[in-house]
Chains A and B, each alone.
Chain A
Amino acid sequence: KAGVTQTPRYLIKTRGQQVTLSCSPISGHRSVSWYQQTPGQGLQFLFEYFSETQRNKGNFPGRFSGRQFSNSRSEMNVSTLELGDSALYLCASAKFLADQETQYFGPGTRLLVL
């Protein structure tokens, strides 16, 4: 069964631009979460979607937004990019909302902001 896929895998943008990243969860999974990984801050939770609804949001500015479609695919958008947004963006999917359920992570999208 195919794993979580993220596109694009690598991206270079300049300050002030905006970017959209895509995540396709494992077939049948309805929960998608997004994380940012940087050398300085480590892995930080961005937001989580389930059945097209945002359920949780981390402590990030409003420039970071996301959405989930009816097929469970998710996108995250970062507007007015800053140098500090350079990071590996990971998405994770899970089937339900069960506490004992693990999440499956994609390979990530590496964003470089110049």
Chain B
Amino acid sequence: KQEVTQIPAALSVPEGENLVLNCSFTDSAIYNLQWFRQDPGKGLTSLLLIQSSQREQTSGRLNASLDKSSGRSTLYIAASQPGDSATYLCAVSWGSARQLTFGSGTQLTVLP
């Protein structure tokens, strides 16, 4: 069964710290992997999309890596800010690019 797992479920860090969020998936034959952010009571905002042929993507303070052979992706956030507080979701597409399988998310709190 194709599954996505995110650990830890919650993370609290002081402002300014660099941090890593983890995502693992069970089947390496992916189309792409995406990281999303969800603020309480709101929809999802796409942060980064990594195609199956890529190893990493960067956007500002965010860097996402992909290692298909080990079934892992990491989201690195540099110099965290209180505004980064949100739930971060990892999503993988296998059979169809738009049929995403989501992890359960990591709830991040950045303390001022």
Contacts and interface: CB of A to CB of B under 8 A. Distances in A.
Interface stretch (B11-19, B77-85, B99-107): B99-107
A18 interface: no
Contacts of A42: 102-105
B44 A99 contact: no
Contacts of A99: 31-32, 51-52, 93, 97
B60 interface: no
Interface string A87-112: 00010101001111111111110100
Given A42-B105, A100-B32, A108 B99 contact: no
A104 B98 CA distance: 11
Contacts of A104: 46
B31 A108 contact: no
Interface string B38-56: 0001111110010110000
Interface residues of B, number: 27
B96 interface: yes
B99 A45 contact: yes
A48 B99 contact: yes
B42 A56 contact: no
Interface string A46-59: 00100000011010
Contacts of A83: none
A56 B96 contact: yes
Interface residues of A, number: 28
Contacts of B101: 45
Given A48-B98, A48-B99, A94-B98, A105 B45 contact: yes
Given A100-B32, A100-B97, 9 more contacts: A33-B99, A45-B99, A56-B95, A97-B98, A99-B51, A99-B52, A105-B36, A105-B45, A105-B46
Interface of B: 31-32, 34, 36, 41-46, 49, 51-52, 89, 91, 93, 95-105
Interface of A: 4, 31, 33, 35, 42-45, 48, 55-56, 58, 90, 92, 94, 97-108, 110
